[in-house]
Chains A and B, each alone.
Chain A
Amino acid sequence: RKEVEQDPGPFNVPEGATVAFNCTYSNSASQSFFWYRQDCRKEPKLLMSVYSSGNEDGRFTAQLNRASQYISLLIRDSKLSDSATYLCVVNSARWGSQGNLIFGKGTKLSVKP
């Protein structure tokens, strides 16, 4: 089983649609979880961290289910500018040490007018 797995897509949705991305991770000891966004031919940038209680940032909602080792990202009212690849990222760091980020292959989203 891959360390971080995502549906590669592409997801082609109209503007205004709600779209959900899912991700599973294999290491039950993983402690921190993130969604990064990568535009075409650009570097990845942090979109949001994912907390156990779930968290929301505007139109974006992230959820974590530790028991199922599952992370999700929901985008409401999608905009053309949301078109990008969304990377599920897991950090297996132990307390006080710099762990490495493990990236999923990403889910490509294309929002159409």
Chain B
Amino acid sequence: DTAVSQTPKYLVTQMGNDKSIKCEQNLGHDTMYWYKQDSKKFLKIMFSYNNKELIINETVPNRFSPKSPDKAHLNLHINSLELGDSAVYFCASSPPMLVAGSNEQFFGPGTRLTVL
């Protein structure tokens, strides 16, 4: 059974389009995240939601809008796609933090977005 799943796995689209990436976790975790890994392989957090509420919003263009309909889902919608948005986007989830910062994050398989 897949713990953290993302769809689609690959997304090729034209500049200016709007697209969404979906993420679901069946681990019962309260917190979910979106990360971006660029061509230089640098993995950086974009957003974090805890039980459907936004708790981390890094410096990300407002063309990116996360939506959490319930705590098992965190979708990422991107408006007006630009060439620089091409990257691999990873969703992740983590259980409640019992000891500060000690919880593991479980990553989805990634969505490879290519903007032409």
Contact = CB atoms under 8 A, between A and B. Distances in A.
Contacts of B48: 98, 100
Give the residue among A45, A46, A49, A98 with the most B Cβ atoms within 10 A: A98
Interface stretch (B14-22, B74-82, B100-108): B100-108
Interface residues of B, number: 25
A103 B100 contact: no
A42 B109 contact: yes
B40 to A, nearest CB: 7
B31 A98 contact: yes
A42 B102 CA distance: 23
Interface of B: 31, 33, 40-45, 48, 50, 55-56, 58, 90, 94, 97, 100-102, 104-105, 107-110
